[in-house]
Structure 1
Amino acid sequence: MTAPTVLLADDHSAIRAGLRIMLETQGISVVGEAADGEVAVRNAAALRPDVVLMDVRMPGRDGISATREIVERGLGDVLVLTSFDEDDLVFGAIRAGAVGFLLKTVDASTLGQAVRAVAAGDGALDPRVTRRALAAVAENAALPVPVPDAGRLANLTGREQEVLEGILQGWSNAQLAARLCISVPTVKTHVSNVLTKLGARSRSHAAALVRGGED
């Protein structure tokens, strides 16, 4: 399996250097760095990494705002890595479309596993914030889910409909590529198009929209 590629976004150069070493010892390729959210978005657009390892508190543009744009534009999956675990940061990052949230006290092995999981289409959540995140989900479970209109679903091409079905099945990008006999970058392009046409923030949001329409 090809090693996932990572973009590091953190305003402290020493932390970026440490993260680079941790990831490279796990066989993960660091393709770029950014010291603030604005540069993170630009570099994500230029480099198209599998995962953006994003700090949330940075000077200038913050990581949550940058995460939202990266996810909306389909530039990569975002794994938040921060020194803080306040609820507003956790839930702000998740609402922005991040698919993982870890604290900077994480060890190299756990970080590597999280990056690989996110690159494969899964999520990663620090155990110390999992209980609070689940409680927040439970509180909002009864809220109505917006449903995409039939026109948006009809706008999907045949291949995009196949990709959407894979998303509903929980398949990773690699699994979709193998089942559809296409490359992973092509899968990412189709996933991005599906999210745009459905008006979804993330794969999980797209699944929620469609399943809401099936009820």
Structure 2
Amino acid sequence: MAERRTRRGTGSDLSRTTAARAAAIAEQLHHECSILLELYRKTENFPADVADSRLVSVPPPSSQLDTRDKLWRLHSALLQCRTLLERAIAKEEEELGGGKKGEYENQKKMVKERLSLLLINTGELLKAADGPAVLTPSLEGLELNGPTILFELKLWVYRIFKEVDYWTKMTITTLKGLPSVIVKESARTTRARRSTWR
């Protein structure tokens, strides 16, 4: 009996850990995005309010969405952000030349890696909410090729960094508003473990 109680507690702890870990990663990513934006803005002399239009295309937020749909929307947006970020990094290399080392390059790499980690964790939460295991974002309408005029290219890269920052903030807000994910994941883990005990 004591063993069952311990196992049940562990499953619940693991469920809370998944959501808490995703939120912590999102908060760290938001901090890293802020640093990246500041570095880029200083380098390119952009004003703080430049490039506020959205690049990612997902259904608008709604209070009618259930937990699974909110997580799907979030995960889809983050996947699109990663696609855009990877393309922006490649385009910068092609058009502006690589080889630059330093704080900006390190920060860009850190943001890309942290975004990939956040995607793994939101994917786990989506699975816990009975969502599909793998999502393929719609790339239709995404500006993947980027402009060829230098200033427009730099502005496009900056807009992508802002988009990652925006969706990171949305992730934090969404995860903090979804305690049902933890409860549902915990209940499923407990049910699965109970069935193995019998």
The TM-score normalised by the length of structure 1 is 0.20
Q: Whose Rg is larger? A: 2
Q: Which has the higher helix share?
A: 2
The TM-score normalised by the length of structure 2 is 0.21
Using CA pairs below 8 Å that are at least 6 residues apart, which structure has the higher relative contact order?
Answer: 2
